[in-house]
Every structure is written in C-alpha cells, then in structure tokens.
A = this chain, B = another copy of it.
Amino acid sequence: MTGRLFIVGLGPGPDRWIVPEATAALEAASDLVGYQPYIDRLPERAGQSRHGSDNRVEIDRARDALAMAADGRTVAVVSGGDPGVFAMAAAVFEAVETGEPVWRDLDITVVPGVSAMQAAAARLGAPLGHDFCAISLSDNLKPWDIVERRLRAAAEGDFVIALYNPASKARPNRIHQAFGLLRAVKAVSTPVAFARAIGRPDERVVLTTLGAADPGTADMSTLVMIGSSETRFIERSGERPWLLTPRTYGAGR
C-alpha cells in the first residue's frame, strides 16, 4: 500500500492564510476530495482528479478518500479553516475507526491551518489573549443539552467563548437560546463580536455587548466571540475599537 492521504485546510478564506505545507499537498495530490465550494476555489491541474460533494456527507467523502488512498493514490481531503477544528480531520478518523482494517495502515497527514476564531481574533485585536474555549452550536451530531452544559461551564470558568456554527436554516433559534442562557449567568456588559467572513470580500464585523446584541446578526459565515469578565474595548477616535483580553487576570480587583 503506497497511497497517501493529506487532510488540508484552506483557512478562513484568502490564500495569504494558507500554510505552505497545505499548498504543497494540494499541488502534489492525484485526487482532491472535498465540499464542492472548496474544490471550486482551487486551480485545475493537468492529471489531477477533482471529487466535489455536497455538504453533510462528510463521512461518505472521508470513506471515498480513504478507499482511493488504499488504492495507491495521493489524496488531499480539502476542508475549510484548520481541518482539525470542527472540520474534516475528525470525519476521516471516524471513517478509519469503523472502516476497512487496512485503512489503519495508511500514511495519513493532517496539515494544521488557521481556524475562523483566529482570523476573527486577528481582525478584532487580541480577544484570545487569555484562556478560551471553542463551542460548535450545531446540534446535528450532539444533543442540545450538552451544548447548554458547555455554555454554562464556559461561563462558570469565565472563559472567552468562540461560537462556531451559530446559525443554520434548520435551527435558527439555537443562537437565541445560547444568548439567553449566557445573559442569565454573565454580565450584560460583556463585550461581544460578530465576525462574519473575515478575510473575504463580504467581511463584516459588529461589536456590541451581551446585553445589547441581536443574536440574529449571526449567520452561517459568522464566528461569535463572547468575552470573559476581563475582556474590554480599547476605544479609538473615528475607528472601530480594538478588543482585548489581557494576559493578567483580576488586576485591580
């Protein structure tokens, strides 16, 4: 078995945030496998096959990729962001766990990348300068009660919270429920940022507070950042404030 499988992330959008190892894997691959819009972003190359698929078929896509690699191909599974963070790496290893025994002998390389919360943090200032957590609000694959348990724990630990997948057409109410829960346990003055499509032409940032926020601002391209008790705005004249979570905790209290 001489095939290889790379799991690669395209970052949050622009090419300037794609690591060189990902670019090299995309160039070397005989086969590209991924959600069609990601495949469409990549240039066509002679001798390279492209296998685009629908959203929500991650496990089938992972199995196809593993089967191709087991056939001796050099396969790149293409993901958004960092493939290890709410993306394709987990789907591929789930497929390995339940799939053909020979898949465990494959040479699989996950290439790390820039995830949406990092692009959002970079654009906003330094909101992730201290301890934080990342929670996906999608309840396709987990019960909503574990999401609520995690939101409560994140508030109890006074973490900065990065919310992924805050909205879906099927469940538009989840982000409203999440804000309702957090408003009951965190200060309403807590800074909140809606960071949409950071790095892409349709980028948009909304800065507000937990109390004043309209949770409906979040769409499927939005990363929602909710501060800790230490997170604050740095005001500027004529410009959007910066958002800072300092490295110190509890200073002056």
Q: Which positions in A face B, CB cutoff 8 Å? A: 11-12, 15-21, 24, 58, 82-86, 89-94, 96-97, 104-105, 108-115, 118-119, 121-123, 125-136, 141-143, 146, 149-150, 152-154, 156-159, 234-237, 239, 242, 244-250
Q: Which of B17, B94, B131, B135 contacts A112 (CB 8 A)?
A: B17
CB pair B125–A119 under 8 Å, yes or no, is no
Work out how many copies of this chain go into the complex: 2
A24, B14: Cα distance in complex, Å: 14
Name 7 A/B residue pairs within 8 A (Cβ), A-sorted.
A17-B21, A19-B19, A84-B127, A112-B119, A132-B134, A133-B159, A142-B248
Contact A123 B110 (CB under 8 A): yes
Main secondary structure, interface of A, reads mixed
Whole-angstrom CA separation of A113 from B113 in the bound complex: 8
Residue of B whose beta carbon sits closest to that of A109: B122
Q: Is the CB of A110 within 8 A of B114?
A: no
A131 near B133 with CB under 8 A, answer yes
Scoring A20, A90, A134, A143 by chain B CB atoms within 10 A of each residue's CB, the highest score goes to A90
